[in-house]
Amino acid sequence: MKWAFVVCAMVALSECLVQVPLERGQTARELLEEQGLWEEYKLKYPYNPMAKFDERFAVGTQPTTNDANMAYYGIISIGTPPQNFKVVFDTGSSNLWVPSVYCSSPACNNHAKFDPAASSTYRQDGTPVNIRYGTGSMTGILGYDTVTVGGIAVKNQIFGLSKTEATYMQFMRTDGILGLAYPSISVAGATPLFDNMMKQGLVNEDLFSVYLNAHKGSVVIFGGVDPNHYIAPITWIPLSSERFWQITMDSVSVNGQVVACNGGCQAIVDTGTSLVIGPQSDIDTINRLVGEIGEMTVNCDEIPQMPDVTFHIQGHEFTLPSTAYIRQTKHYGCLTGFDRGGHSEWILGDVFLRHFYSIYSRAQNMVGLAKAR
C-alpha cells in the first residue's frame, strides 16, 4: 500500500500539500483485553490523560501520556537509506522520538529501532533527553538526520533516540511520537518537525490539518486543508495559550441545558488523546445524563435514544451524537467516550476530532474546526 503521497496545485514544491495517511490499528487496550490482561494492566499503569499537560509531572521536561486507547498512526522514515517508523502525530506534545538500537527495554524489543550506524546522514548531538510519562518515561539522546514525511525530506531534523521506554509501550502498535505542538514545550529545546518544515519552505502555508475516520481514510495534511474532508464553514478559534493548541470553551450542554464548563473553561485540542477528558464532576454528570449504568458503561440497545452532547465554543455549537461518543467493545460492551481528568482543563481528543475536521494554524495561532465528511 502506498503510505505517503503529495498533492500539488502547481509544479513548484512550495505549492504542495504534504499528506500522510493514518491507520487506525488495534489499541493497546484491545490487545490486552484479548489476552485477559486489561484489569491487571490498568491497576499497574493507571491511565493519566492529563499527565502531559501538567507541569507537576514534568520536573523540567515535557510529559506525555499513557494512553492505552491510542489508535491512529502514520509512517515516517529517518536516515539515508530510510528507516521506517510508525508514529503518533500528536498535537499535545512537541518532540519527535523513536526507539533506537541503544534501547533494550521490552517496549523497544518488539518495535522498529533506529540504527545511526546505518544512516550516512546521521549526526550525533548526544544531549540527554528525558520525556516523562504519568507511569514511566522515555530516556535517550538527541541526534540529527533527514526525516521524510509524506514524501518530503526535512533535513537536519533533531529527534530523540530512546535508550529506555515505559513498560506499557510494549503493548502499543506505534513505535514513537511526532509532536506537533509549540517549540516552547519541547524537551531540551529541540526544534519541532513542523517548525523545520516551515523554515525550510516545504509547506505552502504555515498550518496543518487532521482528518480522523473510524474506519479508513484518516490523514494529516501539512501545508493546507482538503475540502473533500469537511463541510464548510470553518470556525476559527484563537488560542488562549501558545504552548499547546489550547482554546477557551464556553460550556457543554445536554438536551439544551448547560451541564458542564459553566461560565467557561480551557480545552486542549489533542490528536494524541483518544477520548474527551474533563473534570471529574462534569464528566460524571455527562455520563449519568447519557445513560451510564457502570463506569463509563451504557446499554448498547439504547444508543439510538441517547442525547446529543454539545460543546459551545466561540458562540458556535459542536455537537456529538451518541454514535460519535459511544464505543462498542468485544469484552466490555458499550463505553462512553468521556473520561475523568481530575483537573479543570478539558482535552478534546479523537472522540471529538473524528466528528470535526481540525486545522492548526501557526501563522494565525488559531484552531479551525469544521464538520467532518
Catalytic residues: 90, 270
167 CA to centre of own chain: 20
Sheet holding 366-372, edge to edge: 5-8, 16-21, 219-222, 207-211, 356-361, 366-372, 230-238
CA distance 359 to 48: 26
Sheet holding 333-336, edge to edge: 297-298, 333-336, 326-329
CA distance 30 to 138: 23
Cell 550516512 belongs to which residue?
120
CA distance 100 to 116: 8
Instruction: Look at the alpha carbons of 266, 209, 190, 275 in this order and tell me if their dihedral is positive or negative.
Output: positive
Q: Hey, is 125 helix, strand or coil?
A: strand
The DSSP 8-state label assigned to residue 151 in this structure reads T
- DSSP-derived secondary structure for 285-336: HHHHHHT-SBTTEE-GGGGGGSPPEEEEETTEEEEE-HHHHEEEETTTEEEE
Q: Hey, is 229 helix, strand or coil?
A: helix
C-alpha cell at 223: 501545508
Instruction: Note whether 237 and 367 are within 8 A (CB).
Output: yes
Residue 323 contacts by C-beta under 8 Å, 6 or more apart in sequence?
303
User: Among residues 88, 271, 107, 85, which one has the least CA distance to residue 178?
Assistant: 88
How far is CA 207 from each of CA 119, 229, 339, rounded to the nearest angstrom?
30, 16, 29
